[in-house]
Chains A and B, each alone.
Chain A
């Protein structure tokens, strides 16, 4: 009880602390108050929902016990991190900005409130924004849009969520897992917005109240927008002067990992329309772009020239960096132009089924059956099935059958070392056989 009391007191103290800043609206200098300021038992650290509450109230516990973001800082002290730090010439991963920028809510010291703990890892405000500005309005019962105005980050909007998640999960101008870091031991980073939201697991529940306040999310839209934003951000990484080749030295993190990291006994090259590359050549990571081209095909937009520009981008590596940049720009603007249409589109049952077939076709035409492609396709299908379930596009029996088929698909892409194109294609066909008519 004392613990609860202290949390309630802390909450009140925070109110007092945040009141003046709330008036200033969203500010880049706003203070991060710390997980402690959200985790009180009468706030988001409750063990059961309050009567009439909009939300489960146990968001803190979901994060603390199930969400790896809560462990993001702690892993910096494990043996693997010690080894990575040593390989990189860092004294300590847990104090290095290079690591902290994604493994914690690494805001400047002057922006850390008294309860803020770096060791909380990727805490509430790393995604939801500094609470100094909006905690007051939030606690006082103002609506979602008032909180947003006061600086709450709109994680419910797919584009914004994608930008936030991908700022670490792909990287941005400040944060990027270079190949030097990979070589030092950092694991690879697969990502797909909708699947990763589900796996996190989410600490929100889509119920009537959520839909009223924030709209009804559609997993297909989240997937599609996630892919578009990922393509944009990947192109930004290519365009970033910091990642331009230094002499003969390419930033290898821009490339598809399995382009190189496959066993020599795994003969994987095939004639691929999506790359146009001859055997023995490495390719820029293109799994997001291949999916986006599939999605654009469904929208039947005249702007869907992403695929062509991706092929030109791959070929540009045989030319010069200016050509690489101009094609990266072309891919980026094609992705950019698609985003409003992806947001506006009402993704229907017919879309869901047609997209499943197109995802399958992108592999069955013997094209993108590379490991990274297969991995992205499986996550795409998971998102589509999630939408089918959520939006009632398929009945329970159909969803159960699709989920069974997804489990098989999942095992085929579980490990790049044992990945087998034939087994994957077989599981993909089995999945599509289960699709409702």
Chain B
């Protein structure tokens, strides 16, 4: 008990100066990042078991510290691989000192924004996602509502749009953070992402129960997936439109392209029917667009047509000139943006979800593109999770779907290839298992 009390007191204390500073501002203050140590008190989010009468599980810190790779994000910068990567990339400082690495491998907020307990070595800590706590920690501890916390600067990670923006700012990139092909060439692993699946495998440190739904509303996995695809596509197009990534001479920013479009064995015959490009052409990574188009065809067919039209034109533009690339990227971006709010609110019915699953499985059969297959798999994960959460799929059927889904994953022997025959067979079985 004393420990808990001490923890809470300490936290209040730490937050106090920042709170005082922020008081005069009408807007939520620019939050000072107080550090993981200000959240992980045993009476707060570092509880070994759920505190009585608590809305939340209380062990969020422990999940993060023991299971969530965000916690190790800084530590990996100390590995030999990171050292080698920094050297190849041409950094003059070690990776744990370089902004290009720290900006995503830690909560690399400006020096003046770090509280006394803040530690860069905590990696991607609480406030990297939830926002600098100086503005809201006080009222949060004092029992403010979620809306009040949000008004005071807590980031709305429960909202799919906001969550997508936050996660993808590193997991795809934004105007300040981007894994360029030069960084890949130096050894950075390939980035891949799907908002709902990655929320689940993080693993999530929240539980959607009655209390959660009352406070934050019900958000389904399929909504999170759909919004995640739209925002990912917007961010992709933003990176294409960013002058910093314009071609240097004849070197394009290869990170725009589908990795396996080049990185495949001869005779891999990576066949993409979605691009209209001839053999031997390198294609932009269009996996998010292919997903979003499938979603839009179900819920907003007109937007789907516009999206598809611009994406095909964008593929063509990649063998044309940069101005056309820019024009069509802007077109794809607008089309994707127009879908975002609708998808966040759309009530995906059981029929919707089954139709989407059918379309995804159909797309897998008509194409042999790894990045598509990967997204299709994660999409089906989100859809089956939603169907299970809504009670649509339960009991024996749930077991059958889970086992079919497992077989889909098994078709991926590693993180960069899929056994096409096994994959298609597993998808057909899943389709069967999902039927009403």
Stretch at the interface among B46-54, B319-327, B396-404: B319-327
Contact B249 A318 (CB under 8 A): yes
A188 to B280, CA, bound (A): 13
* A-chain residues with CB within 8 Å of residue B279 when the two chains form the complex: 87-88, 180-185
Contact A280 B254 (CB under 8 A): yes
A265 to B188, CA, bound (A): 10
Contact A261 B249 (CB under 8 A): no
A179 to B319, CA, bound (A): 13
Top-7 shortest CB links A-B: A183-B280, A280-B185, A279-B185, A183-B279, A260-B262, A280-B181, A184-B279
* A-chain residues with CB within 8 Å of residue B414 when the two chains form the complex: 265
Stretch at the interface among A2-10, A23-31, A106-114, A241-249: A241-249
Contact A178 B280 (CB under 8 A): yes
Is the C-beta of B252 less than 8 angstroms from some C-beta in chain A?
yes
Residues of A248-280 whose CB lies within 8 A of B:
248-250, 252, 257, 260-265, 267, 269-271, 278-280
A318 to B280, CA, bound (A): 22
Residues A248 and B252 in contact in the complex (CB < 8 Å), given A183-B279, A188-B266:
yes
Contact A317 B269 (CB under 8 A): no
Contact A250 B250 (CB under 8 A): yes
Is the C-beta of B151 less than 8 angstroms from some C-beta in chain A?
no
Task: Name A267's closest neighbour in chain B (CB-CB).
Answer: B187
Contact B280 A248 (CB under 8 A): no
Is the C-beta of B340 less than 8 angstroms from some C-beta in chain A?
no
* B-chain residues with CB within 8 Å of residue A318 when the two chains form the complex: 248-251
A194 to B325, CA, bound (A): 46
Is the C-beta of B259 less than 8 angstroms from some C-beta in chain A?
yes
Residues of B317-357 whose CB lies within 8 A of A:
318-322, 325
Given contacts A263-B416, A279-B183, 4 further A-B contacts (CB under 8 A): A188-B266, A265-B416, A278-B182, A278-B185
Q: How many residues of chain A get a CB closer than 8 Å to chain B's CBs?
A: 45
Is the C-beta of A319 less than 8 angstroms from some C-beta in chain B?
yes
Is the C-beta of A321 less than 8 angstroms from some C-beta in chain B?
yes
Is the C-beta of B90 less than 8 angstroms from some C-beta in chain A?
yes
Question: Quick one: which of A183, A279, A417 contacts B265, CB cutoff 8 A?
Answer: A417
- Show 12 residue pairs from A and B whose CB-CB distance is below 8 angstroms, ordered by the A residue: A181-B279, A182-B280, A183-B279, A183-B281, A187-B266, A260-B263, A261-B265, A280-B183, A280-B185, A282-B251, A282-B254, A416-B265
A264 to B416, CA, bound (A): 8
A317 to B254, CA, bound (A): 14
Contact A180 B318 (CB under 8 A): no
Contact B182 A280 (CB under 8 A): yes
Is the C-beta of B390 less than 8 angstroms from some C-beta in chain A?
no
Is the C-beta of B190 less than 8 angstroms from some C-beta in chain A?
yes
Task: Name B323's closest neighbour in chain A (CB-CB).
Answer: A247
Residues of A349-386 whose CB lies within 8 A of B:
none
Contact B186 A280 (CB under 8 A): yes
Contact A264 B259 (CB under 8 A): yes
Task: Name B249's closest neighbour in chain A (CB-CB).
Answer: A318
* A-chain residues with CB within 8 Å of residue B185 when the two chains form the complex: 269, 278-281
* A-chain residues with CB within 8 Å of residue B250 when the two chains form the complex: 245, 248, 250, 317-318, 321, 324
* A-chain residues with CB within 8 Å of residue B265 when the two chains form the complex: 261, 416-417
Residues A248 and B186 in contact in the complex (CB < 8 Å), given A263-B263, A263-B416, A264-B263:
no
Contact A281 B266 (CB under 8 A): no
Contact A180 B278 (CB under 8 A): yes
Task: Name A249's closest neighbour in chain B (CB-CB).
Answer: B319
Task: Name A281's closest neighbour in chain B (CB-CB).
Answer: B251
Is the C-beta of B409 less than 8 angstroms from some C-beta in chain A?
no
Q: In the complex, how many angstroms separate the beta carbon of A1 from the nearest chain B beta carbon?
A: 47
Q: In the complex, how many angstroms separate the beta carbon of A324 from the nearest chain B beta carbon?
A: 8
B110-127 interface bits toward A, Cβ cutoff 8 Å, 1 = contact, 0 = none:
000000000000000000
Instruction: Tell me which of A182, A261, A270 has the highest count of chain B C-beta atoms within 10 A of its own C-beta.
Output: A261
A316 to B269, CA, bound (A): 31
Is the C-beta of A79 less than 8 angstroms from some C-beta in chain B?
no
B161-197 interface bits toward A, Cβ cutoff 8 Å, 1 = contact, 0 = none:
0000000000000000000111111110110000000
B272-289 interface bits toward A, Cβ cutoff 8 Å, 1 = contact, 0 = none:
000000111110000000
Contact B182 A317 (CB under 8 A): no
Q: How many residues of chain B get a CB closer than 8 Å to chain A's CBs?
A: 41
A180 to B247, CA, bound (A): 22
Residues A269 and B264 in contact in the complex (CB < 8 Å), given A183-B279, A281-B182:
no
Task: Name B321's closest neighbour in chain A (CB-CB).
Answer: A247
Residues of B227-255 whose CB lies within 8 A of A:
247-252, 254
Residues A248 and B182 in contact in the complex (CB < 8 Å), given A179-B280, A183-B279, A261-B264:
no
A282 to B185, CA, bound (A): 10
Question: Quick one: which of A246, A250, A261, A317 contacts B266, CB cutoff 8 A?
Answer: A261
Question: Quick one: which of B186, B269, B278, B319 contacts A269, CB cutoff 8 A?
Answer: B186
* A-chain residues with CB within 8 Å of residue B90 when the two chains form the complex: 278
* A-chain residues with CB within 8 Å of residue B251 when the two chains form the complex: 281-282, 317-318
A297 to B278, CA, bound (A): 43
A280 to B256, CA, bound (A): 13
* A-chain residues with CB within 8 Å of residue B184 when the two chains form the complex: 264, 279-280
Q: In the complex, how many angstroms separate the beta carbon of A129 from the nearest chain B beta carbon?
A: 33
Is the C-beta of B366 less than 8 angstroms from some C-beta in chain A?
no
Q: In the complex, how many angstroms separate the beta carbon of A262 from the nearest chain B beta carbon?
A: 6
A264 to B186, CA, bound (A): 11
Q: In the complex, how many angstroms separate the beta carbon of B240 from the nearest chain A beta carbon?
A: 12
A182 to B278, CA, bound (A): 11
Task: Name A181's closest neighbour in chain B (CB-CB).
Answer: B280
Q: In the complex, how many angstroms separate the beta carbon of B266 from the nearest chain A beta carbon?
A: 6
Contact B89 A279 (CB under 8 A): yes
Q: In the complex, how many angstroms separate the beta carbon of B194 from the nearest chain A beta carbon?
A: 19
Instruction: Tell me which of B182, B183, B325 has the highest count of chain A C-beta atoms within 10 A of its own C-beta.
Output: B182
A328 to B107, CA, bound (A): 48
* A-chain residues with CB within 8 Å of residue B269 when the two chains form the complex: 83, 185
Question: Quick one: which of B190, B247, B263 contacts A262, CB cutoff 8 A?
Answer: B263
Question: Quick one: which of A247, A252, A317 contacts B249, CB cutoff 8 A?
Answer: A317
A417 to B89, CA, bound (A): 24
A271 to B249, CA, bound (A): 21
A248 to B320, CA, bound (A): 6
Question: Quick one: which of B88, B183, B259, B264 contacts A271, CB cutoff 8 A?
Answer: B88
Residues of A271-321 whose CB lies within 8 A of B:
271, 278-282, 316-321
A232 to B66, CA, bound (A): 60
A185 to B88, CA, bound (A): 33
Residues of A127-184 whose CB lies within 8 A of B:
178-184
A178 to B322, CA, bound (A): 23
A264 to B182, CA, bound (A): 13
A282 to B257, CA, bound (A): 14
Task: Name B181's closest neighbour in chain A (CB-CB).
Answer: A280
* A-chain residues with CB within 8 Å of residue B395 when the two chains form the complex: none
A70-113 interface bits toward B, Cβ cutoff 8 Å, 1 = contact, 0 = none:
00000000000001000110000000000000000000000000
Residues A248 and B319 in contact in the complex (CB < 8 Å), given A187-B266, A280-B185, A318-B251:
yes
* A-chain residues with CB within 8 Å of residue B259 when the two chains form the complex: 264
Q: In the complex, how many angstroms separate the beta carbon of A180 from the nearest chain B beta carbon?
A: 4
